[in-house]
């Protein structure tokens, strides 16, 4: 979903140069990069938390 949105932003930037003001193009690019950064960070943190939960679950199973 994020990838699709980023693809659409790239498409708008590539095709909208003659229609959109350069300020709007710049804002689109900047916001797209920020969204990708936030998504990557959330994905990494979620994966780390998942691994911690699985480790904790494995530890708890030892006591059952």
Dump pLDDT digits (tens) for 27-60. Answer: 999 999 999 999 999 999 999 999 999 999 999 9
Q: What is the DSSP letter of 20?
A: S
35 vs 4: CA distance, rounded Å:
12
* pLDDT above 90: residue 16: no
């Amino acid at each position: 979903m994020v990838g699709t949105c980023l693809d659409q932003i790239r498409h708008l930037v590539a095709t909208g140069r003659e229609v959109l003001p350069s300020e709007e193009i710049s804002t689109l690019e900047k916001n797209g990069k920020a969204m990708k950064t936030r998504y990557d960070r959330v994905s990494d943190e979620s994966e780390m938390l998942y691994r911690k939960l699985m480790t904790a679950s494995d530890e708890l199973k030892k006591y059952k």
